[in-house]
Structure 1
Amino acid sequence: MTRLSVDDLPRWLLAVGPVAVLTVVFALLYVTSPFSDLASVDSASTIEIVWMVTIIGAIAGLVPVAIGMLWFPFIRDLDPRYLHAFMALAAGVLVFIAFEMVGEIVEYGAAVDRTLVSATVAVVGVGGTFTVMYVASTWRQHKMASHGKSGLHIAYLVAIALGLHSIGEGLGIGVAYVQGDATLVMLLVLAFVMHNVMEGPTIVAAVARETETPPLRHFAAMGVIAGAPVILGGWVGSFANTPLLAMLFYAVAVGAIAQVLLEVAELIRFDAEAVLSRTNTATFVSGFVLMFFLEDVLVDLVLEGWLVPV
């Protein structure tokens, strides 16, 4: 009996499959409104709060990242030129997230009484993280046996950067939960599901250029690194949320993304020499615009009542 594999599936199914899975998850959240009753949060024990925030964080972070990674079989068989374009699209996603977090840093900085302290936290967070990741990346590249860039290495760096970003998402969820604002919790979860599903292909884009597919454990590890910090942020937001702490998380994430963007550019240059080709530029802009649509336009529609959960 012949065993079927993912490679035997039609290309259109590999492209549409994750969208179908996301639609089912989104519909279930929209219809069931699992976080509609938070009336007992004031009397909940610490363990109960941690458990519920963990569940919410997993739905908002781990699930959509895993769904997005299901696009790997489709991305893997792309022509190298289009694979580079997909990596450029991933870079556009990262740049949008970075710009978004810079705005959050400014907003939280305004809430801190001591301007010098907030500015120091922002500069040290961004610069320190970039420097540490750059040094670590350079050291690892020198230790690698091959002379080329490792796609798996880049993918892990992307996952780390996205994971640091995800802590900020969790902060918002944790604060909304302990305040007993069920509507806001639901809106945040829906928004982050739409937002984070694009993190999956952003992570695996670099791996797709490898001649051999890495073991499944690497995909699981990268998914956890990118998505699980939503849970960590939820814990922090539930018990110890402060503007200065939020600034630090966002600044660290911006520094990590800056380092990852440098790595992605070098990876494309190693394969194709020209980073800013017409196709790469177009997909980079598309990634930025797509995240703007997912993060701002759709979320605004939800908040204004056009897409209110039942």
Structure 2
Amino acid sequence: MTRTHTTPAAPASTSAPASTSTDQTVVRRPKPRWLLGLGPLVLIAVLLGLFSLLNGPGLSRLGQGVPPKEEVAVEDVRLTPGQIIITVRNEGPDPVAIAQVNVSDYYAAFTQTTETMAPLQTSTITVSYHWVDGDPYEIALVTSIGGKIPAAIDAAALSPERDGSFFGLMALLGVYVGVIPVALGMLWMPFVRRSSAAWVRGLLGVTVGLLAFLTFDATLEAFDLVAGTSAFGGPLVVILGALLSYLVLEATDAWMRRHQDLHTTGEPAALSPRRLALLIAVGIGLHNLGEGLAIGSAYAVGSLALGASLIIGFAIHNTTEGLAIVTPMARTRPSLARLAVLGLIAGAPAVLGALIGSTVYQPTLGAFLLGLGAGAVGQVAVKLLPMLKDPEGKTFTPLTAGGIVAGLAVMFGTGLLVVA
């Protein structure tokens, strides 16, 4: 008989835990970057809103005894039979109310679209006054606290009606001073193509001089438009416009070179003559936009007489812009279609500027557009400088320096013909 021995099971160890737990690591997703940037903006907006709703806690006595600051600019003066229509803008931090209108020591009856102008708000004041054609008038708008806002009419004349014939005249004016002169200047293309390399560098120097003059001229004119005003930043809008156009053209040029030439050469290519001509046309076009704006607004308020001599002066002054466009393409054969497009890019904005200036002109807008033109033309002038180098690598030689001086002199001399 066989006995089977079984080994008794070992007792469970008392040191082993009754149950086991698995460590779980919770992975937190990082917050989106845009949310981190938006958070402070929302907090700032909430705090500013509360500050405004509570009317500046603790600061209620800060402005006691301080008279309100009144800064009002006269933007437009129009004359209709028996009426003087004045558009004004409150450029100060406090509300302004016009209480009286004095026309050459006579207090005239008037109506206004806004009784009290909030900061940056406009009001159109219609004064009942039988003015005499050709007579000068001194106007003073008296505010509710006794301040006076002056305006002057050198020689009274009926303001043109803004109908179809008026807009047609403005478009024709833009063609005369913008499109046609630029097209005539581009007729120098055969002469430029037959010039030697040295003479081409001299003509490029002339182009640099032309563009440099346009840069300074547009900047000074823009500063003059906003002199003595702080609305919308005052003179800062000129600097903003110039920097904006300069940086946009630089970025556009870099993007075009990187995406159009990188796949063939492995690195961004140099600025081609055709692309440089396009940049020049764009810069001149922005300048002519501001110039057309000034011309249209001056005619709309009766301060510009459209005589044949003045049109001829503008044409001569702007003809040199066509030369600036075709000179970089001296060693290429552009098609007539390309030349026509470049001419329209440079000259046609004068038509648009004249139409805008004669209808919705505002000095700050004009200054901003002139600043855009100044920055664009200046950027192109900088791009032209490397093309002035001779075989020895010198940029400023007697020929190129003489060309720059000649360009400045030509623009200054022809500019004397268009002083309105």
1:258 alignment partner in structure 2: 378
Aligned length: 258
Matches within 5 A, 1:150-189: 150-180=272-302, 183-184=305-306, 186-189=308-311
1:227 alignment partner in structure 2: 347
1:90 alignment partner in structure 2: 207
Matches within 5 A, 1:128-147: 128-142=244-258, 143-144=260-261, 147=269
State the shift of 1:220 in Å.
0.4
State the shift of 1:168 in Å.
2.1
> Structure 1 residues 207 and 271, CA, compared in 2 at 3 Å: closer, same or farther?
farther
Q: Measure the CA separation in 2 of the matches of 1:209 and 1:112.
A: 48
1:177–1:185 Cα contact (<8 Å) kept: no
In structure 1, the residue corresponding to 2:184 is in which secondary structure?
Answer: helix
Q: Measure the CA separation in 2 of the matches of 1:87 and 1:141.
A: 22
1:203 alignment partner in structure 2: 325
1:63 alignment partner in structure 2: 180
**Pairing partner for 2:160 from 29, 42, 49:** 42
State the shift of 1:58 in Å.
0.5
Opposite residue 173 of structure 1, the aligned amino acid is I
Q: Measure the CA separation in 1 of the matches of 2:247 and 2:239.
A: 12
State the shift of 1:185 in Å.
5.5
Q: Deviation string for 1:239-269 (max 9, x for gaps)?
A: 1111100110111111101210121112334
1:176–1:184 Cα contact (<8 Å) kept: no
In structure 2, the residue corresponding to 1:260 is in which secondary structure?
Answer: helix
> Structure 1 residues 141 and 71, CA, compared in 2 at 3 Å: closer, same or farther?
same
1:173–1:188 Cα contact (<8 Å) kept: no
Q: Deviation string for 1:211-249 (max 9, x for gaps)?
A: xx0111110011001111110110111011111001101
2:312 alignment partner in structure 1: 190
Q: Measure the CA separation in 2 of the matches of 1:77 and 1:100.
A: 32
State the shift of 1:157 in Å.
0.5
Q: Which structure is higher in helix share?
A: 1
> Structure 1 residues 218 and 269, CA, compared in 2 at 3 Å: closer, same or farther?
same
1:174–1:234 Cα contact (<8 Å) kept: yes
State the shift of 1:299 in Å.
4.0
1:117 aligns with 2:237: no
State the shift of 1:172 in Å.
2.7
**Pairing partner for 2:412 from 285, 292, 304:** 292
> Structure 1 residues 113 and 139, CA, compared in 2 at 3 Å: closer, same or farther?
closer
Q: Measure the CA separation in 1 of the matches of 2:391 and 2:318.
A: 28
**Pairing partner for 1:126 from 232, 242, 246:** 242
Q: Measure the CA separation in 2 of the matches of 1:73 and 1:156.
A: 19
> Structure 1 residues 271 and 149, CA, compared in 2 at 3 Å: closer, same or farther?
farther
**Pairing partner for 1:276 from 371, 396, 407:** 396
1:214 aligns with 2:320: no
Q: Measure the CA separation in 2 of the matches of 1:106 and 1:44.
A: 28
Q: Structure 1 residues 171-180 or 120-129, which shifts more?
A: 171-180
State the shift of 1:107 in Å.
0.5
1:243 aligns with 2:363: yes
Q: Which structure is higher in strand share?
A: 2
Q: Deviation string for 1:254-302 (max 9, x for gaps)?
A: 1101210121112334977322111100111011011111102x346xx
In structure 2, the residue corresponding to 1:259 is in which secondary structure?
Answer: helix
TM-score, length of structure 2 as denominator length: 0.57
Q: Compute the RMSD of aligned alpha carbons.
A: 2.3
> Structure 1 residues 43 and 294, CA, compared in 2 at 3 Å: closer, same or farther?
closer
In structure 2, the residue corresponding to 1:275 is in which secondary structure?
Answer: coil
Q: Deviation string for 1:176-201 (max 9, x for gaps)?
A: 33235673454542221011110111
TM-score, length of structure 1 as denominator length: 0.77
2:130 alignment partner in structure 1: none
In structure 1, the residue corresponding to 2:226 is in which secondary structure?
Answer: helix
2:389–2:396 Cα contact (<8 Å) kept: no
In structure 2, the residue corresponding to 1:70 is in which secondary structure?
Answer: helix
> Structure 1 residues 246 and 214, CA, compared in 2 at 3 Å: closer, same or farther?
same
Identity of aligned residues (%): 29
Q: Max radius of gyration: which structure? A: 2
Any stretches of 5+ residues in structure 2 without a counterpart?
A: 1-156
2:204–2:387 Cα contact (<8 Å) kept: no
> Structure 1 residues 182 and 243, CA, compared in 2 at 3 Å: closer, same or farther?
closer
> Structure 1 residues 283 and 42, CA, compared in 2 at 3 Å: closer, same or farther?
closer
